[in-house]
A and B are shown apart, each in its own frame.
Chain A
């Protein structure tokens, strides 16, 4: 019940409308640009595997960012927007004591907030993906093969979990911090640090932890550390899921590649490659929410 109210609240809220409009415009623009390139490629080459999916991942001039990268960078903002005032908003509106005095379980409040927000996020992401796919189909006359649709759907779920991570983070800050604005700032701060300074941070950390002289081991360490960031996990997963020719996410030496045959992975095989990433992402999201949950349940009620 709480979830339903949250969902309809968000649906009617200003932030949803403006965000949806913004996303549609930007994503649409990217797709139009991509479609020009793909049309030229499609004419030249037959048999580029999973051409349809390239719409989502293509990254070259003049397209600044395809949908996948777009969500990778701005998805967190989306997640944060629907989580940052989950509990602090109730507090500032003074509705929390009244809500908790109703015959509902206390956990339903925080679960409902999260589920309601996640539902909106899922709605937005799905619409966006469908929108982009639609443009691809109509502009290019490219029709996705069933395997491509399947990959797209799996990727969509991962994208939702990824954005859900940030929503969980924002929910956590909204539980612990009184003012909604502060909670938003903390969450956004984490996002900026991880996403923009992430590469630098990981390099620095790996220099500390690994032997800086041995290049391969320090690179490996850097990769390992970067896997703690949801952004990395998401990017790796998306790359493999949406491109059947991608089959590793680790370091490979030139020698290893040069003799490899180009072949396509089937969906289960692709999944297997990034299974650890997906699980990791899911685990981190769940852990964040669990902390928020426990903290909320133990908090004193004072308005």
Chain B
């Protein structure tokens, strides 16, 4: 097995009394896409900054590409690409010029830099806008420019903080495809932090769920789903009246609760594990119009919610 590219051992960061990151253990492999999930303030950005050597840990160890980022900042930063949350650029310079500045700082020779910049701008869809001042870019465009910026040095490890926020769905698909491609074909280790769980689920090999500085669960999205025991959530979309729905499941032992879903006409029904078929039968019997039935339990946001709801979780 290839050597891990990012390792942390009992990584901890305290600010006075508060423990922002609590004994974090991570082990990322080349070619892996790893997701950091969690609410704001959970410690994701602090962890990322410690991986880059920009914040010093209170205790514990960090190893990126075999080096300690606080002791070897230049080497680590020359091989790790970083896209910060709400990335900013120099407004008075064009997109191209901004990237060229980054290329200079990374000591990429001018001619080669030009080629790489043009290529990357094309890949992120900014080829036409490269001559515009960065101050005129929309949030989504800045995000794309940021990705190009992080990839300029051809990094072995790519760290993305909320990479798909503020980007239209088509753009998101492009970026996720790009990330997946980098991991699969160039063995880049990608670490991304996000709260957009659907997107994370689509592209990550493994995820870690962060709550208040602690990782409460780590594994592939499917692993995490199967690890939480308990009832299943089924999403039902129906045009029928809620009363008809409730009457059809009334008295059924395998149904725990019926709650309104996010959109009108959708409902989240909690049933015993494996009881989806019985639920459907009951609905049909009760005359409920079924537009769609979906097992929602393996969705990452379901998993996520369950971790917050449940007291005992087997990790």
Residue numbers of A with Cβ under 8 A of B are 1-2, 5, 9, 12-13, 93-106, 300-301, 303
Contact = CB atoms under 8 A, between A and B. Distances in A.
A303 B85 contact: yes
Contacts of A106: 73
A300 B53 CA distance: 11
Interface of B: 49, 52, 54-55, 73-75, 77-78, 80, 82, 84-93, 101-102, 104-107, 146, 149
Contacts of B86: 94, 303
A96 B101 CA distance: 14
Contact of A1 (B52, B73, B105): B105
A105 B78 CA distance: 12
A230 to B, nearest CB: 31
Contact of A101 (B75, B84, B85): B84
Contacts of B73: 103, 105-106
Contacts, number: 68
B74 A105 contact: yes
Contact of B90 (A1, A93, A104): A93
Contacts of A99: 105
A9 B90 CA distance: 10
A1 to B, nearest CB: 6
Given A9-B92, A93-B91, A103-B105, A301 B74 contact: no
B74 A103 contact: yes
Given A13-B92, A101-B82, A102-B106, A94 B87 contact: yes
B307 to A, nearest CB: 27
Contacts of B49: 301
Contacts of A2: 105
A271 to B, nearest CB: 41
22 contacts: A12-B92, A93-B88, A93-B90, A94-B84, A94-B86, A94-B87, A98-B87, A98-B102, A98-B149, A101-B54, A101-B80, A101-B82, A102-B77, A102-B105, A102-B106, A103-B77, A103-B105, A103-B107, A104-B74, A105-B74, A301-B49, A301-B54
B82 A300 contact: no
A184 to B, nearest CB: 18
Nearest to A95: B88
A85 to B, nearest CB: 12
A103 B106 contact: yes
A99 B104 CA distance: 12
Contacts of B92: 9, 12-13
Contacts of B82: 97-98, 101
Nearest to A106: B73
Contacts of A96: 88
B74 A98 contact: no
Q: Which of B77, B90, B93 has the most CB of A within 10 A?
A: B90
A94 B102 CA distance: 15
A95 B92 CA distance: 12
A117 to B, nearest CB: 16
User: Which 7 residue pairs of A and B lie closest in terms of their CB atoms, listed nearest first?
Assistant: A94-B88, A103-B78, A101-B82, A103-B77, A102-B105, A97-B84, A301-B54
Contacts of A13: 92
Contacts of B146: 98
A300 B106 contact: no
Contacts of A104: 74, 105
A96 B52 CA distance: 14
A104 B106 CA distance: 8
A129 to B, nearest CB: 29
B90 A301 contact: no
Contacts of B74: 103-105
Contact of B101 (A5, A93, A97, A303): A5
Contacts of A105: 73-74
B89 A95 contact: yes
Nearest to A5: B101
A94 B294 CA distance: 42
Nearest to A104: B105
Nearest to A97: B84
B149 to A, nearest CB: 7
B55 A300 contact: yes
B97 to A, nearest CB: 10
A99 B84 CA distance: 10
Q: Which of B85, B91, B101 has the most CB of A within 10 A?
A: B101
Contacts of B106: 102-103
Contact of A100 (B54, B93, B101): B54
A13 B52 CA distance: 33
A99 B80 CA distance: 13
B54 A97 contact: yes
A103 B80 CA distance: 9
A303 B84 CA distance: 9
A93 B93 CA distance: 12
Contacts of B52: 101
Q: Which of B55, B73, B149 has the most CB of A within 10 A?
A: B73
Given A94-B84, A98-B146, A303-B84, 8 more contacts: A2-B105, A93-B90, A96-B88, A98-B87, A98-B89, A101-B54, A103-B73, A300-B55
Contacts of B78: 103
